[in-house]
Each structure stands twice: as structure tokens, then as C-alpha cells.
Amino acid sequence: MSDIPAAPPPAPPLTAPLGPPAAEDRGFLASQIAFVAAPTPIAAEARESLIARYGECPLPRAAVVVALGGDGFMLETIHQVLVLDVPVYGMNRGSVGFLMNAYSEDDLPGRLSRAQAAELHPLRMHAVTATGAEAEALAFNEVSLLRQLRQASKIRISVDGRVRLAELSCDGVLISTPAGSSAYNLSAHGPIVPLSANLLPLTPISAFRPRRWRGALLPSTADVLFEVLEADKRPTAAVADFTEVRDVVSVAVSADRSVTVTVLFDPDQGLSERIIAEQFTV
């Protein structure tokens, strides 16, 4: 046998780089997109224009849902599609649009397939009213307790079975998800929390006593119980995203990681980046 090593195989011929893949190779077909719109003229017009360009897919058969509106409508859509287990991509046809992407009709299947995914887990609220009625709801932003009349609410706060604040006199109090920490929580002067932090901001709303209490950061595993004191004199409502329960006497809140929704964002505009950037907005 010869000791001369075999020659390496010839290099493949140089070719021009391939162009961008066709829309059907990017992960989403145009025929798989369901469009939903807020009840406003600008959102309805956008939906009609997108359907004319890409067709219309019924929600039960969709691989992805495009929500057209503002942040409030995006939350409604997230709740609506939970049972479908499909991602949601928002395009801003509302006002603030923190959860939305910029509106554009061009290359939508490509934008969807290139988008970054963020998995969100909600809070689960279990409320008991003065009549003994019980109600449950999910919140992807926050659960808030709010006074119903002119007098301040008085609320006892327990965490994991231990009373942490015997009496908070306030306009209200809220507990937020990380994704919702830049919404009502921030307006109430609560901290913004990165998605990866596994923390839940607990924030008072116009606290009267104790006046210096500014809230707390709780682990995402915490079980929180709010008990309304003097409920007859100081009626209080509980709100989970857009579900309101009035005249509550107790509200239990905990994160529910068994429920997940996927929200899509354009590259370099993911939710984690938006939450970080919001902390430097002046």
C-alpha cells in the first residue's frame, strides 16, 4: 500500500448565495393567518386590507393570529386564543401599542416567521364576594383591588399564609406579572421587572397608611391573599385584566404556569428588550 495520503475531495463549485426563501418556506402560509380587529374604524379597515391581500383563515384553523388594535385589544385576543394554543402577533392600530408591532402590510408571512417569541404566564385570581359568590379569572397584566366609593379601602395582605401587612389603607393595590409591570403597575410607581426575573411586583395605589410603604417584590411562586376589612363600609372591586368582580371580601392570587400564551415580536423588538428600554425612557 502507498503511504501517500489520498487527495481531499474537490471543493464544491462556488455558487451565488440563495435569495430569501419563499413565503411558504418561512414557517407560515398566508392561508394560515387569522386576522382579528378592535371595534374601531382604523382597525377594521386594516383587517379588510390584509384579508384582501392574504386571504382569511377562520380562527379554529389558524396557525397564527394577527391582532389589529391597541394593547387592550391585544389582551382580549390573548384570552380569546388560549384554547387554540396558537401564537399572537399584534400590529398597532391603537394608541400606546407597547405589546404591538409596527403596522405594515408587506411580507407578513415572512415577518411572522422571523419574529421572536415570548412565552407569557398569567396570574390566576380567585375572588369571594360579600354574598359568598366565587369567581375566577386570569390576568396577563395584573390583578388589582380598587375602592368602589369615596372612602379608602382597607386591605390585609398575606403571602404564603403569613400576614405581611395587617392593614393597608389605600385607593387600591395590585400584583403584576413581569409582562404587565410596565403597564398599570408602572403608572402606580411600581418597579419594572424583566421577564426572566421570576418576580411579581406588589404595588399600592395611593397608599394613605402606611404612607411610606412602596410595595414589594415577591417570588413568582408566592400565594398572595388580599382580605378586605370593613367591607360593608368600604366596598372594593377586584379586576383581573378586563374581568371585574365587585364587592369582594377576599382575593387569592398566584401565578399559573400551566397556562402559556406565545406572543410574537419583530426581531430586536422583543418584549424583554422593550421592558428594559422602558426603564430608560424619560
pLDDT(265) > 50 = yes
List, in order of start, the domains of the chain with CATH numbers. Answer: 25-120+260-278 (3.40.50.10330), 123-255 (2.60.200.30)
The β-bridge partners of 126 are: 136, 252
More confident site: 97 or 218 = 218
Torsion over CA: 64, 75, 115, 53 (sign): positive
**Over residues 16-24, mean pLDDT:** 35
More confident site: 14 or 34 = 34
3-state secondary structure 162-207: EEEEEEEEEEEEEEECCCCCCCHHHHCCCCCCCHHHCEEEEEEEEE
Give the model confidence (pLDDT) of 145-180 as tens digits. 999 999 999 999 999 999 999 999 999 999 999 999
pLDDT(6) > 60 = no
> Catalytic pick from 3, 71, 256, 266?
71
Give CA–CA dist 170/147, Å, rounded. Answer: 8
CB-based burial, 112-125: b 16+ in 10 Å, e otherwise: bbebeebebbbbbb
Q: How far is CA 139 from the centre of its chain?
A: 8
Torsion over CA: 40, 43, 45, 48 (sign): negative
Output the pTM of the full model: 0.82
What pLDDT sits at residue 16? 33
What pLDDT sits at residue 14? 33
Q: Are 226 and 156 in contact (CB under 8 A)?
A: yes
- Closest to 269 (Cα-Cα) out of 111, 81, 109: 111
| 97-106, 178-187, 230-239: which is most confident | 230-239
Residue 273's H or E segment, with its range, is helix 271-278
Give CA–CA dist 68/121, Å, rounded. Answer: 22
pLDDT(272) > 50 = yes
Give the model confidence (pLDDT) of 248-261 as tens digits. 999 999 999 999 99
Give the model confidence (pLDDT) of 104-120 as tens digits. 999 999 999 999 999 99
Give the model confidence (pLDDT) of 80-139 as tens digits. 999 999 999 999 999 878 889 999 999 999 999 999 999 999 999 999 999 999 999 999
State the pLDDT confidence band at 273, using cuts at 50, 70 and 90.
Answer: confident
Query: Catalytic site residue 71?
Result: yes
- No. of helices (H) and no. of strands (E), the chain: 5, 16
Give the model confidence (pLDDT) of 48-78 as tens digits. 999 999 999 999 999 999 999 999 999 999 9
